[in-house]
Structure 1
Amino acid sequence: MPINLANSEEDSKMKDVFIPYYATKRSARSPTPSAAIDVSQSPFDKVQLTKLLIDALDEMGYHESAVSLQKESGGIEVESSSVQKLFSSIKYGQFEKIDLYMLSSLPLKNGVPMGVLSQTLSASSATEEIASNEGTAVDDDAMKIDNIISKKTDWNKFFVNMQSEFKLLEPLIQNMNDYDSKTIQGLSDMMEILILINKQVFIELMFDQQESSLAVLFLRTVFRKYIQLWELLLMYQESTDALTPDTLLKQMTSILTCPPNSAEYSHIWPGTIQKSRKLLIDAISKYIDPNDLVPRGRLFTLLRQAIKYQNSQDILNFDEGNENQYGLSNGRNYNLLQDNVSNSHRIGFRAERTLGQNVDEIWYLEFSPDGKYLASASADSLTDRKVLIYDVENNFQVYKVLGGNDQCVLYLSFSPDSRYLVSCPFNEEAKIYDIHKSGEPTKINPEIEGGIVAEIIQPEDSFKIPDNKFSSSGGPPRIWCCNWFHTDANRGRFVLGSPDRDVIIYDLFSKSVIFKLSEAVSSGGSSSQDQFPRVHDLKITRDDKYLLLMAHEYFVDTYDLSQLPPVDKEDESGDHIMDPTTFHIPKVSRLNVGKRMTCLTIPRSRQAGDNTNSLILLNVQPHELQLWDFKEQILVQKYFGQRQLQFIIRSCFGYDNKLVASGSEDGKIYIWDRFHGNIISVLNGHTADRTVPPGSTKTFGRNCNIVVWNPVDKTLFASGGDDGLIKIWRVTRD
């Protein structure tokens, strides 16, 4: 069953209408009408179109044209009169004119709780509002946000006014139990607008007026009370905003002591009072109903969406990551007078170099997280030096040779800091290397000026999984896969999986097995259904929340790691071994694939909130790859074309997770569009044409066993095959 991530009954209902966000890169093609569109029969509202035009003209600097269009349209306004009054008071620094009566007249998205406020706002407040707004009439220049004339603010009157408004708000918020959710949301919006205004006043007192003593007085006597009232209000509703009462108060306090050239200073104060007030207006605009205030840059947002849709129709189009403020690729001109022509030759691939230091089949490749190193593991039976570390930034010269692996190496895994490497040989003993450790020089690299002298290093540590009853040899379980934790809370830890029904957590610093998952989840049953699975591959999600186990039994199990104690929670004796009775690692789902799998891959998440964090890629026999959402248990896409029947073939995500690449038993590299599933390219990589070394009876095969993508340089990837060669590839753009 899918992982239950719902936080409420409402969230549970939404499960029934789940739409995968990672599958929305491209919409289906829709025909573009060739005939001219009759504007009179347009489905778009004429008033809304006029508002967009007025707003766009004003933003582009055509102020007189915007005013003229506004008059010709009969007075259509991009912002209502109540919004204009508030924004004018802010632009001209007349904060003393802002009160609850003015805010209650705003057309907020979530509505204004007039049923509650009407009992508070007296007729005298209305009279005061009318008087306070004398001389603030909105003329033709009102919409010119940049046309700000800073007038002297009556700070004393503002302080008194805010204290009076606080006395009106305090009893309302203290009686929140009497209100429904809509009323609470409306009050919350008004309170947050007041918080933003008070924050602006504090900032102006500090940076523009240079009145630090007055700012401190305001913070203590007025602003602090509003923050506390806001905190009380938030107790009645859930909030996901990054700015909380606690962080805001700390931010304001830090301003009092930060030097003028500090990062905190530049983050709070943009340099001029005009820019600062403009930022305040932009922040308040998010609370206003779009029908009464055109969202900033709305027409340009619609144009950007149209361009992105046109780009999405090109099956070989992949937007670059360096987007400008409009969300479009820099360095490209877009024609608004006609549809942008598709270019099907924008992406390609070329072989950049071949690495031939290995003399036997390449079984595994792994780029370090910093992208600077490439590790390879071969099946060479004549030496224990089966793992080579290549320096990516120095023309892929060999950086280190890792000794001590008597058996063929099946798996490699770099630590998050790219310093340590774990190797998993065919037998039961895993080894840990510090790749920057000094060792014995070797002449594996050609002697060139400025070249690297590669060194042979031995493992820092080696270990075995404690015996269990499922081991095929009666001894320690074999170790076939490994993955490190990614966050600081679990630094130095990694997980290893065994086909002999075991998974352990190992701690690098204590050099000990600190947890055995098979023992913790065992129910004591004797049936095959109760047995811990035979693990052939595993991955930990980038947030360290889930452990994914790819089983020999044709399924993928997901375990919840959220209760795992962090590394700084050792007991007083310094013992790193965890007590499984103090926490629980439950199995939360089982994904039944129903076919033999040879590889489990997760996307490389390069930023927080990446929407690919629930995706897994599986190589499935025969001849297909499957993309799943493991949380929702949805099969998102299948990829066909490569050959995979007998051997372990591994795949990866690439090019900022826009591509999927895999090896194949025909020696080729297959590359697909992740979203559409169509083949982008087939590269001839490993074709068994390698010359056999003198005196060797080795016969090279033609499998391409693995493809890996550089996590930092999205244009760089590598492949390894049975020919013993490593091919380095580069993405090209026409």
Structure 2
Amino acid sequence: MQLQNGKERARNSTSSLVPSASPPNASAVGGATSSTYFGHDREEVTRILIQALSDLGYSHAAESVSHHSGFALESQPVSDFRQAVLGGDWAEAEHLLLGAATAGTASSGSGVAANVPGLVLLPDADRSLMRFWIRQQKYLELLEQRETAKALSVLRTELAPLYQDTQKLHFLSSLLMCQSPGDIKKTADWDGAFGQSRQLLLSDLSRFISPSVMLPEHRLAVLLEQVKNYQVSGCVFHTSSTSPSLYADHYCDKSNFPSQVMCELHDGAGDVWQVRFSHDGKRLASCGAGHYVIIWEVPTFKVLLKLDGHVTGVGDISWSPNDTMLVSCGRDNQARIWDTRTGLLLRLFERFDEPVSSCVWATDGLSIVLGSFDKDRALCQWNLAGERLFTWTKKHRTEGLALSPNGQWLVAMDDNKLLHVYNFVTRELEYELELKCRAMSVTISEDSQFMLVNRQDGEIHLYNIALRGTLMRKFVGGTGGDCVIRSAFGGADESFVISGSDDGKLNIWHKNIGVRLFMLDAHKPRCNAVSWSPTDACMFATCGDDKKIKIWSNSERVRQYEMDVARNGVGPRSTGNGYLVDI
């Protein structure tokens, strides 16, 4: 159990600047000035600048701005509270907290200008929880100092009366058994009184304090990041993976967008159903009607391995988190795990009664989840030794599945127009999402917040997973049918939705705007699947029923690739650069 109150570790504390010669609400020195700065409140802008200068290490400049403007970064009570927490004066910290007003009351005012004689808390502030956090820090520091008797007294008389979470209190009491300060820090995931723990405590406490008297940490940096994100979200052809400059508005030229075929790879064994880039972007795996999986080198696209073992078509593949293994599942009712460096078969799983439809890796790389048409083993977790660890359901077939990158959500499609969303950690069913049309495939975004569902009618729906499947957007224009069509998130910051189509077209939409940017001729008669490189915003792969894999990029990259092939003789047309591993 972790004891950090917040999720992010603060690295720098912000100085408290309280001018002694001028009141906090004094007019700017040097004469009358406007109360606004280009439409923004002058005091707010100035205080944010003072904080930013302190964050940047320009303390003298921050003091100068505070002095000349007459605006304080914080009121004296806030400064006292900050120093009490950072200095370990727990009695003073609680005293100041006890006298705090609540924002919106007559005594709280609206900001530093009100000169409130105490802290101002937000209306939803949990005072008991704030006191618990303070006393928890006090308790841990006493344990660190080996003041066990005093720590026990704090636990019994100060912490226990405030908190009803018996599991948390039991964990805190178990720390009394630690043999050394190092054991305490490791067990509690806490770095001690002289680490960042007090600053982290202050950060968490500040979330309950009105921003009018205590600015949120690094406020200017947060605002600038929001500006960047807003500009990126509206960049129609966003291809830059670097952070936008603050000097100019962000813009990506359409010519840099990958919309041209750079090269074609020929499977030679039949329709290609699936393509997936490795996590490091250095390899591409493909599978389909042929009985083997091909691994291609990126960016030369030479054949590295042909993994031959299935006796019929291979429907799905998945790279392990570290890309050293790959699982394949086939129409031959079996799943296999391969070593992607040597091509050797590592594990052949027990034969199912019906085809294995889909596969994903657990985030720790120690187990996989297989979906199958076999109802007795429709959705199961397996270890790498081939042992079944858990079965979620025996009520329906599983036609497709996806696991979120953070390891929290497991989404399974059945054959009855239902999506089943499980908590992968607890293995409990969170909710079911009823669809009006049969789902053909599902994929989850890199931030684990959203899922794309391809439907039989050709539409693609974007759902918020955490909000119990709230429909966020529909992407229309593709065609559907009875065959599996796959879509994907992709591009810089996953700004785009890309999908195959039953009519052989390739469709690309802007994820946030919802506008279709491209409809390109891709494969005939059908474009089955797509995969955008996770490390190259200007490259993606498609595959189809024409037995081809196509690699797409922008015009400049296409010209450069053709020049490299002509000059060096490298590329997918070269022969003798791969080998077949026959199991």
TM-score normalised to structure 1 length: 0.56
Residues 334-354 of structure 1, C-alpha deviation per residue, up to 9 Å, x if partnerless?
25xxxx365554851154443
Q: Which residue of 1 aligns with 2:380?
A: 505
Q: Which residue of 1 aligns with 2:266?
A: 356
Q: Which residue of 2 aligns with 1:550?
A: 413
Q: Which amino acid aligns with 1:334?
A: Y
Give yes or no for contact 1:416–1:484 (8 Å, CA) kept in 2: no
Give yes or no for contact 2:294–2:307 (8 Å, CA) kept in 1: yes
The CA deviation at 1:186 is: 2.5
Q: Which residue of 2 aligns with 1:644?
A: 480
Residues 455-487 of structure 1, C-alpha deviation per residue, up to 9 Å, x if partnerless?
7x668425322xxxxxxxxxx3x2141223514
Listed as ranges, the matches of 1:71-470 within 5 Å are 76-87=71-82, 98=89, 100-101=91-92, 103-106=94-97, 185-190=126-131, 192-193=133-134, 196=137, 216=145, 219-220=147-148, 222=150, 225-226=153-154, 231-232=159-160, 235-236=163-164, 253-254=181-182, 288-317=209-238, 320=241, 329=243, 332-335=245-248, 340=249, 342-345=251-254, 348-349=257-258, 351-369=261-279, 371-380=281-290, 385-392=291-298, 395-427=300-332, 429-436=333-340, 460-461=347-348, 463-465=350-352
The CA deviation at 1:727 is: 2.0
The CA deviation at 1:430 is: 0.9
Give me the whole-angstrom Cα distance separating, in 2, the residues matched to 1:678 and 1:296. Answer: 37
Change beyond 3 A, Cα 1:39–1:412: same
Q: Which residue of 2 aligns with 1:468?
A: none
Q: Which residue of 2 aligns with 1:156?
A: none
Residues 513-543 of structure 1, C-alpha deviation per residue, up to 9 Å, x if partnerless?
5666664x5xxxxxxxxxx3x4422334456
Give me the whole-angstrom Cα distance separating, in 2, the residues matched to 1:537 and 1:43. Answer: 52
Give me the whole-angstrom Cα distance separating, in 2, the residues matched to 1:680 and 1:554. Answer: 29
Q: Which residue of 1 aligns with 2:499?
A: 662
Q: Which amino acid aligns with 1:186?
A: R
Give me the whole-angstrom Cα distance separating, in 2, the residues matched to 1:107 and 1:51. Answer: 26
Give me the whole-angstrom Cα distance separating, in 1, the residues matched to 2:308 and 2:198. Answer: 64
Give me the whole-angstrom Cα distance separating, in 1, the residues matched to 2:63 and 2:362. Answer: 56
Residues 324-376 of structure 1, C-alpha deviation per residue, up to 9 Å, x if partnerless?
xxxxx26x2425xxxx3655548511544432243422122233455454322
Q: Which amino acid aligns with 2:441?
A: C
Give yes or no for contact 2:84–2:92 (8 Å, CA) kept in 1: no
**Which SS does the other structure have where 2:223 is aligned?**
helix
Give me the whole-angstrom Cα distance separating, in 1, the residues matched to 2:190 and 2:422. Answer: 44
Listed as ranges, the matches of 1:700-715 within 5 Å are 701-711=524-534
**Which SS does the other structure have where 2:77 is aligned?**
helix
Give me the whole-angstrom Cα distance separating, in 1, the residues matched to 2:44 and 2:383. Answer: 62
Highest Rg: 1 or 2?
Answer: 1
Give yes or no for contact 1:109–1:288 (8 Å, CA) kept in 2: no
The CA deviation at 1:498 is: 0.6
**Which SS does the other structure have where 1:728 is aligned?**
strand
Stretches of structure 2 that go unaligned for 5 or more consecutive residues are 1-33, 104-122, 558-583
Give me the whole-angstrom Cα distance separating, in 1, the residues matched to 2:152 and 2:197. Answer: 21
Q: Which residue of 1 aligns with 2:114?
A: none
Stretches of structure 1 that go unaligned for 5 or more consecutive residues are 1-37, 113-181, 203-214, 259-263, 323-328, 439-454, 466-475, 522-531, 565-584, 605-609, 687-700
Q: Which residue of 1 aligns with 2:369?
A: 494
Q: Which amino acid aligns with 1:557?
A: H
Asked if 1:620 is matched to 2:455, the reply is: yes
Change beyond 3 A, Cα 1:285–1:224: farther
**Which SS does the other structure have where 2:350 is aligned?**
strand
Give me the whole-angstrom Cα distance separating, in 1, the residues matched to 2:515 and 2:445. Answer: 19
Q: Which amino acid aligns with 1:641?
A: G
**Which SS does the other structure have where 1:100 is aligned?**
helix
Residues 538-589 of structure 1, C-alpha deviation per residue, up to 9 Å, x if partnerless?
334456555433233333234566555xxxxxxxxxxxxxxxxxxxx66x54
Give yes or no for contact 1:621–1:644 (8 Å, CA) kept in 2: yes
Change beyond 3 A, Cα 1:250–1:185: farther
Q: Which residue of 1 aligns with 2:543?
A: 720
The CA deviation at 1:713 is: 5.3
Q: Which amino acid aligns with 2:338?
A: D
Q: Which amino acid aligns with 1:189?
A: M
Give me the whole-angstrom Cα distance separating, in 1, the residues matched to 2:216 and 2:426. Answer: 43
Change beyond 3 A, Cα 1:499–1:42: same
**Which SS does the other structure have where 1:463 is aligned?**
coil
Give me the whole-angstrom Cα distance separating, in 1, the residues matched to 2:522 and 2:275. Answer: 15
Q: Which amino acid aligns with 2:549?
A: I
Give yes or no for contact 2:380–2:389 (8 Å, CA) kept in 1: yes
Q: Which residue of 1 aligns with 2:400?
A: 537
TM-score normalised to structure 2 length: 0.68
Residues 348-407 of structure 1, C-alpha deviation per residue, up to 9 Å, x if partnerless?
115444322434221222334554543222324xxxx532222447x3332322223332
How many residue pairs match? The answer is: 499
**Which SS does the other structure have where 2:552 is aligned?**
strand
Give me the whole-angstrom Cα distance separating, in 1, the residues matched to 2:100 and 2:238. Answer: 37
Q: Which residue of 2 aligns with 1:676?
A: 513
Q: Which amino acid aligns with 1:294?
A: L
Asked if 1:629 is matched to 2:464, the reply is: yes
Give me the whole-angstrom Cα distance separating, in 1, the residues matched to 2:399 and 2:540. Answer: 24
Give me the whole-angstrom Cα distance separating, in 2, the residues matched to 1:511 and 1:723. Answer: 35
The CA deviation at 1:503 is: 0.7
The CA deviation at 1:706 is: 0.9
Change beyond 3 A, Cα 1:107–1:72: farther
Give yes or no for contact 2:381–2:388 (8 Å, CA) kept in 1: yes
Give yes or no for contact 1:403–1:458 (8 Å, CA) kept in 2: no
Give me the whole-angstrom Cα distance separating, in 1, the residues matched to 2:541 and 2:38. Answer: 52
Change beyond 3 A, Cα 1:408–1:348: same
Give me the whole-angstrom Cα distance separating, in 2, the residues matched to 1:705 and 1:595. Answer: 19
Q: Which amino acid aligns with 1:629?
A: N
Give me the whole-angstrom Cα distance separating, in 1, the residues matched to 2:408 and 2:469. Answer: 17
Match among 481, 503, 507 for residue 357 of structure 2? 481
Give me the whole-angstrom Cα distance separating, in 2, the residues matched to 1:733 and 1:229. Answer: 71
Residues 60-111 of structure 1, C-alpha deviation per residue, up to 9 Å, x if partnerless?
67767765665666x54322222334556788x7x7xx46356423588786
Q: Which residue of 2 aligns with 1:128?
A: none
Change beyond 3 A, Cα 1:284–1:246: farther
Give me the whole-angstrom Cα distance separating, in 2, the residues matched to 1:231 and 1:731. Answer: 61
Change beyond 3 A, Cα 1:732–1:192: farther
Q: Which residue of 1 aligns with 2:109?
A: none
Give yes or no for contact 1:388–1:398 (8 Å, CA) kept in 2: yes
Give yes or no for contact 2:371–2:400 (8 Å, CA) kept in 1: no
